[in-house]
């Protein structure tokens, strides 16, 4: 299949491109579009055949539900059976934005969107091209991250093309995404929200908005704990094995040198400050703060291929604020977690 590509820099001058992409979605085809978090692989959320194409193109397990993207608060509400008061507060503060609400579904989306669950995950992306596309299509769009299942999520159109070109109808290129890690997913079916997947909207931000502390997920037993089904799968895996290492720069260097002595070519991913103290066979800077680290993380995970390095050593980050989401993804990408 030929995959059409459009570059959307200035929305005003690309209305025809958006209309063309929207028409493909209305015809039941798949189109990749930018959001503020990562690129999404979109399909008409009300069309079961179109949604089935998402699972086929990604090689996604059938029991992993999709997030539905709405263009407005009204459209978001129209897709749920019921919204608790705290969800309304969160929508007012964080939507559009990187927060996905898991709500009781009302049958408006195709069955395979929710993978048989009674709930549906919905969010309003904070990206002008995404909003324009959803509006032009006049449809809610089911859209997982636009990567092959198991690989890092795409933060550039080129990442999505690497994984999906030839298998889908089109790719809207809106440049690099801003946030870089996927949205926070919260279960809104209980008395208090429960974070199913950490993201840029942090636990502290949610608690402050609703005026209550969140139920601790750790306090719930494994069987009680409501989960995002997708979180159980291996994710974000780079081509080369990755060790996530919590230690001082000197300790990281010792580990790198040790592995090099074993004959391995070692690449390192770390913050810009740490990198200045390290010598390895390849390096990727994760920037100078947690925002920059999130934004560059998946590009880094895609950077080293089998020909370039035998091992990636990645610095661990503090698990506070955005660091919770960064470490959540890195732990899933890593084949080993070492605390020195
Ligand atoms: O930022 C994002 O959320 C991106 C952009 C494209 O919007 N999308 C994204 O989708 O990350 P995906 O499919 O890669 O991840 C969706 C996650 C999965 O872990 C899935 O299991 C969970 O959300 N999820 C979706 N619907 C759910 C539901 N009804 N109940 C529990 N978890 C749900
Ligand atoms: Mg994904």
Q: Which residues of 172-203 are buried (b: 16+ CB within 10 A; e: fewer)?
A: bbbebbbbbbbbbbbbbbeebbbbbbbbbbbb
Quick check: 58 pLDDT over 70? yes
Q: What is the pLDDT of residues 71-100, one digit of tens each?
A: 999 999 999 999 999 999 999 999 999 999
What CATH number does the domain located at 4-216 have?
A: 3.90.870.10
Question: What's the mean pLDDT in 178-202?
Answer: 97
Handedness of CA 266, 270, 272, 278 (dihedral sign): negative
Q: In the block, which residue shows the tokens 């080993």? A: 336
Question: What's the mean pLDDT in 189-203?
Answer: 96
Dist. CA 65 → ligand 1 center (Å): 7
H or E segment at 141?
strand 141-142
Mutate to test the pocket of ligand 1, among 230, 297, 329 (most ligand atoms within 8 A of CB): 230
Q: What pLDDT does residue 305 have?
A: 86
Residues 6+ apart with CB under 8 A from 157: 5, 32, 34, 39, 171, 172, 173, 174, 175
> Which atom, in ligand 1's list, is nearest to the CA of 185?
23
Chain centroid to Cα 19, Å, comes to 26
Question: What's the mean pLDDT in 290-313?
Answer: 95
Q: What pLDDT does residue 220 have?
A: 47
Residues 6+ apart with CB under 8 A from 276: none
Q: What pLDDT does residue 67 have?
A: 98
Per the DSSP assignment, residues forming a β-bridge with 68 are: 122, 142
Q: What is the pLDDT of residues 25-35, one digit of tens each?
A: 999 999 999 99
Q: What pLDDT does residue 238 have?
A: 87
Question: What's the mean pLDDT in 152-160?
Answer: 98
Q: Is the CB of 231 under 6 A from ligand 1?
A: yes
Q: Which ligand is nearest to the CA of 119?
A: 1
Quick check: 68 pLDDT over 60? yes
Dist. CA 110 → ligand 1 center (Å): 16
Helix intervals (H) in 79-156: 85-94, 128-137
Query: Using alpha carbons only, what angle is made at residue 321 by residues 319 and 325, rounded to the nearest 5 degrees?
Result: 65
Topology (CATH level 3) of domain 242-339: Rossmann fold (3.40.50)
**CA-proximal residue: ligand 1, atom 29 (nearest):** 120
Q: What is the pLDDT of residues 200-253, one digit of tens each?
A: 999 999 999 999 999 766 544 444 444 677 777 667 888 899 999 999 999 999
Q: What is the pLDDT of residues 319-338, one digit of tens each?
A: 999 999 999 999 999 999 99
Count CB neighbours of 97 within 10 A. Answer: 21
Q: Is the CB of 38 under 6 A from ligand 1?
A: yes
Task: Band the pLDDT of 315: cuts 50, 70, 90.
Answer: very high
Rounded distance, CA 102 to CA 129, Å?
24
């Amino acid at each position: 299949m030929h995959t059409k590509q459009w570059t959307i820099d200035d929305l005003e001058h690309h209305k025809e491109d958006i209309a063309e992409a929207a028409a493909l979605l209305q015809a039941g085809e798949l189109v990749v579009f930018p959001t503020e978090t990562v690129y999404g692989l979109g399909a008409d959320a009300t069309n079961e055949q179109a949604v089935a194409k998402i699972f086929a193109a990604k090689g996604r397990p059938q029991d992993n539900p999709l997030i539905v993207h709405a263009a407005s608060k009204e459209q978001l509400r129209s897709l749920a059976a019921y919204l608790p008061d705290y969800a309304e507060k969160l929508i007012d503060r964080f939507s559009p934005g990187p927060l996905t609400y898991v709500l009781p579904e009302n049958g408006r989306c195709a069955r395979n969107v929710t993978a048989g669950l009674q709930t549906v995950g919905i969010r309003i992306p904070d990206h002008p091209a995404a909003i324009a596309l959803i509006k032009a299509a006049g449809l809610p769009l089911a859209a997982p991250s636009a990567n092959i299942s198991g690989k890092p999520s795409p933060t550039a159109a080129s990442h999505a093309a690497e994984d999906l070109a030839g298998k889908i109808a089109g790719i809207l290129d809106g440049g690099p995404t801003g946030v870089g890690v996927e949205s926070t997913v919260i279960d809104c079916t209980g008395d208090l929200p429960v974070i199913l997947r950490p993201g840029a909207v942090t636990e502290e931000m949610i608690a402050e908005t609703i005026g209550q502390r969140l139920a601790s997920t750790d306090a719930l037993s494994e069987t009680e704990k409501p989960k995002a089904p997708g979180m159980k799968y291996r994710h974000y895996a780079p081509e080369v094995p990755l060790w996530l290492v919590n230690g001082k720069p000197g300790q990281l260097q010792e580990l790198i040198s040790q592995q090099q002595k074993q004959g391995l070519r070692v690449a390192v991913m770390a913050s810009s400050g740490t990198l200045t103290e390290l010598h390895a066979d390849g390096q990727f800077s994760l920037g100078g703060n947690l925002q920059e680290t999130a934004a560059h993380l998946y590009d880094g995970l895609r950077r080293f291929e089998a020909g370039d390095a035998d091992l990636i050593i990645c610095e661990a980050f503090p698990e506070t604020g955005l660091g919770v989401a960064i470490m959540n993804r890195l732990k899933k990408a890593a084949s080993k977690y070492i605390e020195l």
